[in-house]
Structure 1
Amino acid sequence: MSNTYTIDDLTYLMSRLRDPKHGCPWDLKQSFASIVPHTLEEAYEVADAIERQDWTHLNDELGDLLFQVIFYAQLGHETERFDFSTIVSNLVTKLVRRHPHVFPDGTLHSPPAERALTDDEIKQNWETIKQQERDGKEARGESRVLDDIPQALPGLTRAVKLQKRASQVGFDWNDAELVLDKIEEELAELREAIQSGNQAAVADEMGDVIFAQVNLARHLGVHPEEAVRGTNQKFERRFGFVEDQVRASGKAWSDFSLGQLDQFWDQAKALGL
């Protein structure tokens, strides 16, 4: 029978991997910065397993993601900045503070609240508490409005967070139609940049168009990152159908015109792919 290990075993394993004399050479070479790409990759693999409802592999992927936290904790311990216990303690403290509807007296083992809050009340409380935390940092000269939005987030996700944060201080459109007008304005500027032949200007204006489209998605209650991921999957399905038709014909891709390939694409759409 295989052993059932605990979180303590995992932290011990990590310390062994980083042992200066007998540890793993690869693990010993790593730093906070060098393992960031692995952390991002593991997070995406978790999301991918969930989207595919691959629960068996999700178990493994969550373990890989947890290992990233353990790795950072070990590095923090070695540099005397923090360790796994302080990570856990700070997390529990923050979550108790941000959930007064669950922990009304502000302690982990406080009795339940007398009245259950609505989703809107919970959301409002959450935003109020987070704003209080930011206000405290700002009062100490430690924070600005758009601070603590991670640079490493995917571009669309970070755009949403930037826009939401700015919205909290009143810097936002109040009508989706106005955002559509802004998109038209940005498209016109993109056309001018394209005509100018200035590639730097094209890239800049293209970014503005995408940012405005993210803003529209936010106003319509659509998360752009999720929408694009869904469209990516749809494209894969339909392109896979086109590829199947090309293969079944026994011909090469170059034997088909774009119009003929588009006909296969339309067939895929008609089939609901």
Structure 2
Amino acid sequence: MNSRSTQLKAIDRLLTIMEELREQCPWDKKQTLQTLRHLTIEETYELGDAILDNNLEEVKKELGDLLLHIVFYAKIGSETNDFDIADVANEICDKLIHRHPHIYGDVKVEDEEEVKRNWEKLKLKEGKKSVLEGVPKSLPALVKASRIQDKVAGVGFDWEEPQQVFEKVQEELAELQEEVNDANQDKIEAEFGDVLFSMINYARFLKVNPEDALERTNKKFIKRFQYLETKAKEMGKSLQDMTLAEMDVFWNQAKKEN
């Protein structure tokens, strides 16, 4: 691994390049915080894909893309005298020191869970009115549900045992089935949401990241379906012309390979 001085030189090089691009490149000159926003979200998802694929070379590249965005935002902030990269770095350093009194102070903690509880208490002392205040409104619903549950658990609002959560899942499934039987679409949607919320909560108790688990299944399904498409093409058939029984044969083959 590179030395600290080499790492700092690389960051300094990136800052210099960013300054040059902002001054000389027509595209880079035009960018604002608002125009970069959707690109940053896209880069974050690309990093997530690389992590799920365990492709460390791609992880390195995508981290570089995200680092560029951070430097880009800081450069724009410096042009309006609102903040620069030093302000950004010092802000997070100060926050980390303040929120880790068990490292930088005299607080004693027993385990990871106590660290999380202290973290939420400190955030409330900083002036936040709700432990849920920091959950971004624009998060995808599945990720948002997971973050909500993490945060309320941090202040003790939680189940005690996984079995209790599983029983809640079963209870919500039964309530969903009742509404399905009554054919009330609005209530079906509400109960379906409750089922998903309880399943995400159960995932937390099983130490499973629900977003990662679902994306893993998405990738698996894509591979199997594309195998099915390939086999149909080899037979000179389209999927529309095949019976479910024929498709099932290739689907089972795909399951063995993927």
What TM-score results when the alignment is normalised by the length of structure 2?
Answer: 0.81
Q: Are 1:126 and 2:115 an aligned pair?
A: yes
The aligned residue for residue 178 of structure 1 is 164
Q: Can you list the C-alpha shifts for 1:147-205, whole angstroms capped at 9, x where unaligned?
A: 11223333322212211221233322223333333333433443455566665544433
Alignment map for 1:80-95 (pairs within 5 Å): 80-95=81-96
Task: Answer whether contact 1:11 1:70 (CA < 8 A) is retained.
Answer: yes
- Per mean C-alpha deviation after superposition, the further-off stretch among 193-202 and 77-86 is 193-202
Task: Answer whether contact 1:73 1:87 (CA < 8 A) is retained.
Answer: yes
> What is the aligned counterpart of 2:13 among 2, 9, 20?
9
Q: Are 1:227 and 2:213 an aligned pair?
A: yes
Task: Could you tell me which runs of 5 or more consecutive residues in structure 1 were left unpaired when the two chains were aligned.
Answer: 107-116
Distance 1:83 1:65 in 2: 17
Task: Could you tell me which runs of 5 or more consecutive residues in structure 2 were left unpaired when the two chains were aligned.
Answer: 1-6
Q: Are 1:137 and 2:104 an aligned pair?
A: no
Task: Answer whether contact 1:49 1:55 (CA < 8 A) is retained.
Answer: yes
Seen in structure 2, the aligned counterparts of structure 1 residues 199 and 268 have a Cα distance that, compared at 3 Å, is same
- Per mean C-alpha deviation after superposition, the further-off stretch among 60-69 and 259-268 is 259-268
Alignment size in residue pairs: 251
TM-superposed CA distance for 1:132, in Å, is: 3.7
Distance 1:79 1:259 in 2: 65
The aligned residue for residue 80 of structure 2 is 79
Secondary structure of 1:170's counterpart equals coil
Seen in structure 2, the aligned counterparts of structure 1 residues 125 and 179 have a Cα distance that, compared at 3 Å, is closer
Q: Are 1:264 and 2:250 an aligned pair?
A: yes
Seen in structure 2, the aligned counterparts of structure 1 residues 176 and 81 have a Cα distance that, compared at 3 Å, is same
- Per mean C-alpha deviation after superposition, the further-off stretch among 169-178 and 4-13 is 4-13
Distance 2:166 2:76 in 1: 47
Alignment map for 1:21-60 (pairs within 5 Å): 22-24=24-26, 26-60=27-61
Structure with a larger share of its residues in helix: 2
Task: Answer whether contact 2:117 2:155 (CA < 8 A) is retained.
Answer: no
The aligned residue for residue 111 of structure 1 is none
Task: Answer whether contact 1:101 1:122 (CA < 8 A) is retained.
Answer: no
Distance 2:248 2:18 in 1: 53
Q: Are 1:246 and 2:232 an aligned pair?
A: yes
Task: Answer whether contact 1:18 1:28 (CA < 8 A) is retained.
Answer: yes
Q: Can you list the C-alpha shifts for 1:37-77, whole angstroms capped at 9, x where unaligned?
A: 21121112122223333333333211111111112212222
Aligned partner of 2:152: which letter?
A: A
Runs of 4+ deviating beyond 6 Å: none
Seen in structure 2, the aligned counterparts of structure 1 residues 204 and 29 have a Cα distance that, compared at 3 Å, is farther
- Per mean C-alpha deviation after superposition, the further-off stretch among 44-53 and 67-76 is 44-53
- Per mean C-alpha deviation after superposition, the further-off stretch among 188-197 and 169-178 is 188-197
